[in-house]
Amino acid sequence: MALFRQLYIQVLIGIFLAIILGIAAPAIAIDMKPLGDAFIALLRMMLAPIIFCSVVIGLTHVADMRQLGRLGLKALLYFEVVTTIAMGLGFAAVNIFRPGDGLHATDLSLTDAATRTISGASDFTAVRFFLSIIPDTLVGAFARGEILQVLFISVLTGAALSVGGAKKDSAILKVIVESQEVLFRILGFIMRLAPIGAFGALAAAIGAFGAGTLIYLAKVVVLYWATAAFFVIVVLGAIAATAGLSIFKILRLIRDEIMLVLGTASGEVVLPRLMMKLEKAGCDQAVVGFVLPAGYSFNLDGTAIYMAIAVAFIAQATDTPFSLGEQLAVLMVIMLTSKGGTTVAGGAFIKLAATLQSVRTLPLGGLTLLFGIDRLMATCTALTNIIGNTLAVFVVAKWERGFDRAKFDKYLAEQSAGLIDPSGAEKKTRAQHG
């Protein structure tokens, strides 16, 4: 029975029940949507305060601003190199296997639902993206829960305290540290609802679109999942090995988060938990606090693969000429449009619309082909993104000599033994209680 106390097993059970209900009773399954919406809302509620506390506490350990600048430069360089490899892999896969050939979907118009979903995509520009990092007010950034804006404020606050030489026993730091502890305890309470949240979100998706979504446009779905799996095992595996790590150990470390994303198709729901878990698993707090939230906007490997495959698939399916030169031009556009903090389900679809509107080479109506299967694509996108960002934290921590191998091995052993509670923290033993 100890196995059923593991969070990932409970979430798997919720996913299994959601699939059964979605196929057997679609109408009832759709009514389960509020369960998933409520759970995601609870976790998103925790994002801003946890990011703020973690980043501020971490940056107070940074020796000087040069160290912070070096950390940021290394992280952004890593992000750009890896996401470019991801995009190249996606383009290679779709050009080799050509899943859109033979569809001849030359007469397409956007459905009402697709039009509503991409209505804001035309507002996406490079200038708007960078200006959006600066919040209107300090409070507004937290109220809207914008990851990049909260990160921006957190870095400024942490840097101000670090430059000001705030002592570890200062009142303001004590408040922030104790606030973080309370937030993590709240997170532990919320995570106990994960199986119910995953059940509600997935049941509603299957009930709304029908079991046919599991086979609709199967070629492009299978190609995307296979390419993403290849990227994780081979590309990220090679990066991990270069850093002296095992990608399979990292996957085992975040198995609970993988199951949760599989049910909700959102990477945001696991961000607070990942931040705490990576600190417990031996990564320096400053590295975790900076790299992981930044990665959610700048290191979106899954999004890059999805968009690369999608644009070439649309060209093939609509019989649109799409030369190698044009593909390379689109690749450059994707390097911009794949960025941004939209990590909820459907976020990559909006970015894809922004890309098509930017290049004007492919028919915007081609988005209709992908709209029905976006849930399946979004799930894979979110999974790939969180795995890539988790590895990024470990790699940068190793570069900054902020990784404790002994703590990593100890945490993995305790997790396997069931000694980690749903929030990701170690369970207190009787000895610890005294």
Please state, in angstroms and as integers, the Cα–Cα distance from residue 39 to each residue in 44, 181, 184, 196, 285, following that order.
9, 21, 16, 8, 27
pLDDT of 170-194, one tens digit each?
788 888 888 888 887 887 788 788 8
The residue extents of the domains of the chain are: 2-420
CATH architecture of 2-420: Orthogonal Bundle (1.10)
Beta carbons of 98 and 319 less than 8 angstroms apart: no
Please give the pLDDT value at position 57: 78
Answer whether residue 19 shows pLDDT above 80: yes
Instruction: Look at residues 265, 204, 227, 218 and name the one whose alpha carbon lies nearest to residue 369.
Output: 218
Non-local CB neighbours of 119 within 8 Å, separated by 6+ positions: none
Mean pLDDT of the chain: 80
The amino acid sitting at 208 is A
Q: Which pLDDT score, from 0 to 100, does residue 140 have?
A: 82
Q: What is the pLDDT of residue 22?
A: 85
Which pLDDT tens digit goes with each residue over 228-286? 999 999 999 999 999 999 999 999 999 999 988 888 777 878 888 898 899 999 999 88
**150-162: burial string, b at 16+ Cβ within 10 Å, e else:** bbbbbbebbbebb
- Contact call for residues 389 and 261 (beta carbons, < 8 A): no
Contacts (Cβ under 8 Å, ≥6 apart) of 170: none
Mean pLDDT of 31-53: 82
Model confidence pLDDT, tens digit, residues 348-383 = 666 776 677 666 677 776 676 676 677 778 889 999
**What's the rounded mean pLDDT across residues 62-74?**
76
**Which pair of tokens denotes residue 385?**
């993104």
pLDDT of amino acid 63: 58
What would the pLDDT profile of 121-140 be if each residue is shown by its tens digit?
A: 455 555 666 777 788 888 88
